[in-house]
Structures are given as C-alpha cells and as structure tokens.
Amino acid sequence: MPAQIAIFQIAFSLDVAKECEADEAIDINDCYKIIEKVKELTNGKFCERVIECTGKECPLNLAGKLSAERGKLIITGFHQDVMGQVNIQLWNWC
C-alpha cells in the first residue's frame, strides 16, 4: 500500500511530487477515477491523512471522500464562500 499519494492538476506539480518521492502521483482530471484509483491503492481503506490546500470547492469535497473513516482531513488555504456548498456531513466519518 502506498504511503504517499499526490493529486494535482498541473503537470509540473506531478513531476515535483515524483521528485519528492511520492509513491503515486495522480492527475486530478476526473474525480470519479481518482476515488477509484485511491480505493484500489489503499485496498478500500482510503487515506489516513488528506491535506487539501487549493481553496476550491471541488477538491475540498474530493478530499472528504478520500479520507478514511477516523482519518484526518487537514484543510489549509483560504476557502472563501464554499462552506455552504461542501458536504460537511461526510466529515462526520473522518
């Protein structure tokens, strides 16, 4: 099971993640594919820790879905005007 999974939209960031020895680097072009890939990589357990730092709604919702039950969702960055649109109920399982 990989220890570090990096998910980015920009190719340069994926390259940097690989240089920093991320076990897996995934392009964020399709949220459903990301969820399935992370589920596969973690044997269905998802991630013990997820760090979300985009400040955008879609990646924040994705981060919640990638967090394991009783995992830690670490939110950094400034998420202006998205809290009414984020599935906070999902966070009850993190």
Q: DSSP string spanning 56-78?
A: -HHHHHHHHHHEEEEEEEEE-S-
Q: Is the pLDDT of residue 10 over 70?
A: yes
Residues 6+ apart with CB under 8 A from 45: 1, 68
DSSP state of 88: G
Q: Tens digit of pLDDT for each residue in 14-64?
A: 889 889 999 998 988 788 889 999 999 999 999 999 999 888 888 888 999
Q: What is the pTM of this model?
A: 0.80
The full set of domains in the chain, from first to last, is 5-93 (3.40.50.720)
> Residue 94: what pLDDT?
57
Query: 5-8 and 67-75: which strand pairing?
Result: unpaired
